[in-house]
Amino acid sequence: MGTTIRDIADKLSLSPSTVSRSLQQDDRIHPQTRARVAELAARMGYQGRARRSGGPGKTDTQADVLRLAILLRSQDSHGGPNAMRFLHGMTAEADRLGATISLHALRSRDVDDDPAPHDLPPVVQSGECDAAMLEGQHDPRAVNVIAQHVPVISCEWQYADIAHDVVQADDVAGVAMLVDHLHEAGHRQVAWLGERMRCGYSDQRQAGYIEGCLRHDISIDPRLFIGPEGYDDNRRPTTDALMAAVRLGATAFVCVNDYRAQMVIDTLTEAGLSVPNDISVTGFDGVEPTNPAQRRITSIDPNFVEMGRLAVNLAHRRKSQPAAGHIRVSTQPRVVDGQTISKVKHHS
């Protein structure tokens, strides 16, 4: 027997009617509650489709209503704070436009040579939705097949040689703003920690680090760039790599995201350094710590809620102008002040 509305209600300590209205995008339910319901429904494999009633005096037809399918990376990979903020923005804008939403987690067939390695939702295969909204990074082979059925709106990721619209954060500007912040605090030797493997967003954020250093005449020392070789078999930055940067004079680390920044904080603390008294650390994503013992990381909030809103607007544009050229739009990031930067005193 499949997941029911009551199953979702019991998990969230909500009434079945609240869950039902949330799945129907009822604007009487708070957007955050709708996002929580949407996230759990997808994770539990709920197969119902979210619809919105036209309300008194309105007539919803297949031709008039914007029908959106949100495709999540998997049933268990989208419950993080970033995905929740995406869903919040998407559901709020869908409400405003009177759109319908269905949520689906792509299920892999685990076949390496399959050109379409995921089972596509029926609404995508049949073209019963006006656009597929991609949350997070998906297998390009699957995206290519999806784009052959319906227009694709991607959040964060751009796929080569596939026709689609993209909404993403301005990663370059965001990380450059962090370097501005560090320079204002007196930092003149700043190290960069990228991802453990080559990826587009890491490259963009590294470009922001370089841009920020250049405009403040901060030395760009190749030895202060920590990439895949600086990670161990447990996918953590090594003490040796981090301490080598410290010995070279680095007083701060700009990290590719908050997840890696927390690893840096933990590793340096274990090595006997104090953050931020001895070394400053920044991240990216603006995630609030779930552990009360952890400090709030000075970071960049890319405005995921606004990205969700923009994605829905791109889908609306694509439906009304199907022949229009594909575009990429960016949100304006902002610095989130935390407790992981301290000022550096320079001696004359």
| Per-residue pLDDT tens digits for 55-89 | 444 444 445 789 999 998 766 555 577 888 888 89
65 and 204 in a single domain? The answer is no
Of 40-49, 95-104, 117-126, 269-278, which gets the smallest average pLDDT? Answer: 40-49
Residue 346 lies in a domain: no
- Residue 220 belongs to some domain of the structure: yes
**Residues 278 and 325 both lie in one domain:** no
Q: Which domain holds residue 245?
A: 171-301
Residues 15 and 162 in one domain: yes
Q: Residue 125 to residues 32, 119, 149, 264: CA-CA distances in angstroms?
A: 30, 10, 6, 44
| Residue 26 shares a structural domain with residue 131 | yes
What average pLDDT does the segment 253-282 reach?
A: 97
Question: What residues contact residue 32 under an 8 Å CB cut-off, 6+ apart?
Answer: 88
- Specify whether the CB–CB gap between 338 and 295 falls below 8 A: yes
CA pair distance 283, 302, nearest whole angstrom: 12
Q: Specify the DSSP class assigned to residue 290.
A: S
E strand intervals along 201-289: 225-226, 252-255, 280-282
CB 245 within 8 A of CB 277: no
Whether 9 is covered by a domain: the verdict is yes
User: Is the domain of 157 the same as that of 289?
Assistant: no
Question: In the prediction, which pLDDT does 105 show?
Answer: 81
pLDDT at 240 over 80: yes
Q: Label residues 189-207 b or e (16+ Cβ within 10 Å = b).
A: bbbbbbbbeeebbbebbbe
Per-residue burial over 7-27, b if 16 or more Cβ lie within 10 Å, else e, is: bbbebbebeeebbbbbbbbbb
In a domain, 257, yes or no: yes
Q: How many domains does the chain have?
A: 2
Tracing tokens 């609306």 back to the chain, one arrives at 316
Given a cut of 50, whether residue 216 has pLDDT beyond it is yes
Res 242 pLDDT > 60: yes
Decide which of 286, 301, 316 is a domain's last residue: 301
The type of residue at 151 is P
Pair (125, 13) in one structural domain: yes
Alpha carbon distance 39, 26 (integer Å): 16
Domain match, 43 and 13 both:
yes
Examine the domain organization and report whether 70 and 117 are in the same domain.
yes
Handedness of CA 111, 112, 116, 117 (dihedral sign): positive
Same domain, 268 and 122: no
Whether 237 and 317 share a structural domain: no
Q: What is the pLDDT of residue 311?
A: 96
Cα torsion for 23, 139, 119, 5, to the nearest 10°? -20
Q: Is 98:121 a contact under the CB 8 Å cutoff? A: no
Return the pLDDT at 347: 46
Domain assignment present for residue 344? The answer is: no
pLDDT, position 151: 96
> Which pTM value belongs to this model?
0.75
Q: Sheet harboring 131-135: ordered strands across?
A: 100-105, 67-72, 131-135, 152-155, 165-169, 328-331
Same domain, 204 and 317: no
158 and 138 fall within a common domain: yes
Output the CA angle 269-271-276, nearest 5 degrees.
35
Residue 101 lies inside a defined structural domain of this protein: yes
Stronger pLDDT, 95 or 275, i.e. the higher one = 275
Identify the CATH number of the domain in which residue 313 sits.
3.40.50.2300
User: Which carries the bigger pLDDT value, residue 164 or residue 109?
Assistant: 164
Residue 347 resides in a domain: no
Task: Assess if residue 288 is contained within a domain.
Answer: yes
Of 118, 119, 105, the closest CA to residue 39 belongs to: 105
Q: For 296, phi and psi rounded to 5 degrees?
A: -70, 125
